Structure 1
Amino acid sequence: MEERLQKLLSAAGICSRRAAEGYLASGRVAVNGAAAKVGDKADPDRDTVTVDGIPLPKPDSPVWLMLNKPRGYVTTLSDEKGRRTAAELVAGCGCRVWPVGRLDLDSEGLLLFTNDGEGTNRLLHPSQEVEKEYHVSVTGDLERALPILSGPLELDGALLSPARVSVLRRDGTGGALSVVIHEGKNRQVRRMCALAGLTVHRLRRVREGTLSLGSLPIGAWRWLTPRERAELIH
């Protein structure tokens, strides 16, 4: 059945439907070798759709898995600098998957992978307000930092939604915090801590929505259960 190319690119996890319009306008998309334009349609069972010359993957059954990402891995499918990628750690899952959201090079913890384009877009859409919990080891004045972290903060010229912050541990130079947010600005928790006068030494994502990292070893991955998938993508 024919579908608009924007929908096909989104379902394949290439980009959002809005971003697909830019791909089409810049000539990056072709159908059966001919350049496509905004508004064109294709039948994925009959036509060959390519982006930058690479064919779209054929639709697969939805696959979801959770990785406990170690530090030192970038959250991309490939890296022009030759750095290790989180995708390498799930290469044995038997199908093409991509990361859902990001964890920066120095951060670790729960990172989802999937081949479900529509599910990816739903989960990442701001309207979903999916909670993400981080455990953060810091040095600095916790008493001064707590009201700053929990109060109105601004990043990139926009006010952040209030975070939920609690102390997990105190020591002579700082301690560990639980920080719960539902936005996803670049390095958001690290930047929030910097604004509050804290230095981050370890940052680990331990929960996303109802899904918890649990005891999954660093560098290991597991499939999500049907119930976990249903609760995450509702």
Structure 2
Amino acid sequence: MSSDTNPEAASDGVRLQKLMAAAGVASRRVSEDLIAAGRVEVNGEVVTELGRRVLETDRVAVDGRAIQLDTSRRYLMLNKPVGIVSSLQDDRGRPDLQRFVERFDERLFNVGRLDAQTSGLLILTNDGELAHVLAHPSFGVMKTYIAKVEGRVSPQTIGMLTRGIELEDGPIAADKARIIGQAGASETMVEVTLHSGRNRIVRRMLEEVGHPVIDLVRRQFGPLHLGSLGQGEIRDLSKDELGALLTISRDAKGAPATPTDSED
């Protein structure tokens, strides 16, 4: 039970500024200044007293941006190469994600999936609550892909993608789509943004409109951008990146029954 509803638990907790410093938010002195200035919230309530005790499970935000007090949680960004399946232990013996996480002590899992032939941004964590929100399309977390496709894509085709098309498992529409350039005389680079988690959805959409995918990369997942992270490289999220993800998770109201586990 969180400290805002259990005063006894709060008295057994740790001073807020100490936990903030341990979580890497700021030094203890700067954390005290943030609290005194009214910039820190605990479980939705502005806290200004420096003696406030909290638990790692309490929800703390600074300037409206959520922070993680539980230092046992880990959040990583991987640029998954082509040829790697999105599993920590593939039962068919194919190259999997284990090689990228074996040096970490935490038991990590991937948030959603990218098919073996799709590269790009994949989140790995041991935070199940955040993973649930990010993976389920009902929460509307956007993902952006860059696709190299066969043929010259027309503006009319882009319109079809955003208005919606019919696939064998039901209608689907891209939230955004645009042509970003030509890749030779008979290939086009297209950017597609959508929140669906349906299996191989980007590939199936583009094939349906007559432009099979040659190469597909996920460049963005919610507020996270792949940036200059090289293929096969993995890194911890920055404080700002983590804060943005935690804020999405904590702002989500309700929980769908079952998260999807397959994406394109």
Tell me how far 1:146 sits from its aligned partner: 2.0
Bigger CA drift: 72-81 or 153-162? 153-162
Mark the CA change 1:150 to 1:74 in structure 2 (over 3 Å): closer, same or farther.
same
Tell me how far 1:189 sits from its aligned partner: 0.2
**Uncovered stretches (5+) of structure 1, i.e. residues with no partner:** 2-58
Q: Counterpart in 2 of 1:135?
A: 146
User: What amino acid sits opposite 2:170 in the alignment?
Assistant: A
Provide the aligned length of Structure 1 versus Structure 2.
Answer: 177
**Secondary structure of 1:93's match?**
coil
User: What amino acid sits opposite 2:163 in the alignment?
Assistant: G
Q: Counterpart in 1 of 2:115?
A: 104
Match among 145, 149, 154 for residue 157 of structure 2: 145
Q: Counterpart in 2 of 1:227?
A: 240
User: What amino acid sits opposite 1:119 in the alignment?
Assistant: L
Matches within 5 A, 1:85-104: 85-104=96-115
TM-score by structure 1 length?
A: 0.71
Tell me how far 1:87 sits from its aligned partner: 3.0
1:122 aligns with 2:133: yes
C-alpha contact (below 8 Å) 2:174/2:193 kept by paired residues:
no
Tell me how far 1:199 sits from its aligned partner: 1.7
Cα distance in 1, alignment partners of residues 234 and 149 from structure 2: 27
**Secondary structure of 1:207's match?**
strand
Q: Counterpart in 1 of 2:172?
A: 160
Cα distance in 2, alignment partners of residues 87 and 180 from structure 1: 28
**Secondary structure of 1:202's match?**
strand
Tell me how far 1:198 sits from its aligned partner: 0.6
**Secondary structure of 2:179's match?**
strand
Cα distance per residue 1:59-78 (max 9 Å; x no partner): 98211000000000000111
C-alpha contact (below 8 Å) 1:64/1:112 kept by paired residues:
yes
TM-score by structure 2 length?
A: 0.63
Match among 188, 192, 200 for residue 175 of structure 1: 188
Tell me how far 1:152 sits from its aligned partner: 1.1
Mark the CA change 1:151 to 1:75 in structure 2 (over 3 Å): closer, same or farther.
same
Bigger CA drift: 61-70 or 150-159? 150-159
Alignment RMSD = 1.8
Cα distance per residue 1:148-206 (max 9 Å; x no partner): 22221233433224431111111310211111011110000000011010121110000
Instruction: List 4+ stretches of structure 1 deviating above 3 A.
Output: none
C-alpha contact (below 8 Å) 2:89/2:97 kept by paired residues:
no
Q: Counterpart in 2 of 1:187?
A: 200
C-alpha contact (below 8 Å) 2:136/2:197 kept by paired residues:
no
**Uncovered stretches (5+) of structure 2, i.e. residues with no partner:** 2-69, 248-264
Match among 70, 78, 91 for residue 80 of structure 1: 91
C-alpha contact (below 8 Å) 2:119/2:218 kept by paired residues:
yes
Select the structure of larger CA radius of gyration.
2
User: What amino acid sits opposite 1:192 in the alignment?
Assistant: M
